[in-house]
Chain A
Amino acid sequence: MNKPSVLRRILTTDLPVLLIVLLALGPFAWLVLTSLTPSAQIAQSGVSVSPSGWGVDNYVRLLRQTSFVANMGHSLIVALGTVVLGLTVSVTAAYAFSRFRFAGRRLIMLQFLLVNMFPVVLLILPLFILMRRLGLLDTHLSLILANATVAIPFAVWMLTSYVGAIPKSLDEAAMIDGCSRLMALRRVVLPLAMPGIISTGIYIFITAWNEYLYALTLGGRTVRTVTVAIQTLIGEYQIEWGLLAAGGVVGALPATLLFLIVQRRLIGGLTQGAVKG
């Protein structure tokens, strides 16, 4: 086969890819532009495409006049709490699944897979009743527990495949050298699985940060996360698109940045898990 010319490559590959990248990024770019255009100008002449019409007006208002920073704090607590809870209980579970063959293993694995498929709507209503009964409504703990419904099964599956990829002979060697099972887990398996644990943790963080329905239902006046707060930025009489856009951009930033940093590894893990099952 002769090499296709550069022009042909640009027409058949670069250009279509560019279109798809534009499609993927366009809406968010539009949101950024909206957030940079002062509200008064949006109402008059629409979103400004040129830098001359830009300002940080909306961002200043967002930080000064709303409780957005406090909302970010709540989101951070909930997301970090979910990560800690999700990872601590999942690491040992993943170790058990990948290193032992025991009665009920298949059934318990199946249970974790099944839980991941449960409709949010089925859980959200009884969780509300449950948290209300326990007096946990509007606390960080209720949101962390609710997010755990998604985080734990996911983490168990991801980590099982990560730990499974670490050769058994390594922890067996450590045990011959006098380590107990749990010491082998801590000294040999944990360090080796660390990249997997970190990317699983980051994935949990992103999902917990972005979670909306639980935060709306189980949160309240005291604990209001970013996702719920963004919705309240809609003005009372008319929609304040500029302010709303600024909130959307700032609220999306932590998760998006984290995602970009780890995306290669994360996607490797996710797709591997899916391809392998």
Chain B
Amino acid sequence: MSAHASTMTLNSRYPVPWQRRILPYVLLAPAILVVLVVVFVPMVEAVITSLYDLILWKPNASRFVGFGNYIKLFADPVFWVALGNTALWIGLTVPLQMGLGLLTALLLNREFPWRGLARALVIIPWALSSVVIALMWRWIYDPNTGVLNDILLNLSIIQSGIPWLADPKTALYAVIATLVWQGFPFFAVMILAGLQGIPRSQYEAASIDGASAWRQFRHITLPGIGPVLATAGLLRVIWVANSMDVIFVMTGGGPGYATYTLPLYAFIRARQNLDFGYGTAIAVTFTVLLGSIVAIYILRTMREVER
């Protein structure tokens, strides 16, 4: 950088056009270079690997199979189970996070003495690592000594302890509940920022006109935070779809295939069987499916940037 600085000083006052034209690219080069090496090269590699039958511990048996892995994928029942789970996973987690986040934001937007403290405390789950969260909830869900069963038994809501994570019927929902807990503060914070951008005068005018609290919410609050909800929602869909660390630590995909999502299936397939060809084929398929949502988000954001 210092070398550049000395050559640039000479011409800086009356920059020669080509230098001025090249400077932004020079400034961008390090970031682009690193991203090329750690993201785009691996991505291309992933697409190529997915066309091979590659088991990592026997690299000599690796052979080109074209779309063989993808064809295999469509006939693989586990793929369809994982796809269904992924849809359920996103479809439940994001709206629940958003609902709880909206409720939290509306409450935190009111006036009360310890508002600053409450706001700081609510966000803490966001700073915890997924591993800690996953293990923590495994402990809470523990069938024998877990506190959740204790509480429910004491309130006599249930008669005997439920093995939350070991029962295929409840496992996915238990993990979803954990993710909702982890993610709702994000929504709360984003929505709160949106709420604070709505001018107070609008509410005053509405209440003078005799609008009920519900009508004020529907006609002032919701339109006011609409853009934030859309942006945060899209971001979260992408994030929740990608996140597999919590499931991986909580259940490892089990019992059976009950908590397999697509990224998790790809990861486990590659990690346990070292079946990298098939694993990356699942990962690529998942990325393509997610791509449409990513495209919507990017179009939205780039429109904003241009303004």
Contacts and interface: CB of A to CB of B under 8 A. Distances in A.
Interface of A: 1, 9, 13-14, 16-17, 20-21, 23-25, 27-28, 30-31, 34, 42-43, 46-47, 85, 88-90, 92-93, 95-97, 99-100, 102, 105-106, 108-115, 117-127, 129-130, 145-146, 148-149, 152-153, 156, 175, 178-183, 186, 206, 209-213, 217, 227-228, 230-231, 241, 244-245, 248, 251-252, 255-256, 258-260, 263-264, 267, 270-272, 274-277
9 contacts: A24-B124, A89-B31, A111-B35, A114-B298, A117-B297, A122-B287, A146-B38, A270-B189, A277-B303
Given A100-B24, A114-B294, A121-B267, A271 B189 contact: yes
Interface string B273-301: 00010011001101100100010011011
Contact of A267 (B124, B133, B189, B305): B189
B39 A123 contact: yes
Interface residues of B, number: 107
Interface of B: 1, 4-5, 8-9, 12-13, 21, 23-25, 27-28, 30-35, 37-39, 41-43, 45-46, 49, 56, 103-104, 107-108, 110-112, 114, 118, 120-133, 135-137, 139-140, 142, 145, 147, 150, 181, 184-185, 189-190, 192-194, 197, 207, 227-228, 231-232, 235, 238, 241-242, 244-245, 248-249, 263-264, 266-267, 270-271, 276, 279-280, 283-284, 286-287, 290, 294, 297-298, 300-306
A92 B30 CA distance: 9
B129 A110 contact: no
Contacts of B304: 276-277
Given A175-B12, A213-B248, A25 B46 contact: no
B5 A31 contact: no
Contacts of A175: 12-13
Contact of B131 (A93, A109, A212): A212
Contacts of B145: 42-43, 46, 241
Q: Identify the interface centre among A20, A25, A122, A127: most chain B CB within 10 Å of its CB.
A: A122
B228 A30 contact: no
Nearest to A207: B129
A264 B192 CA distance: 13
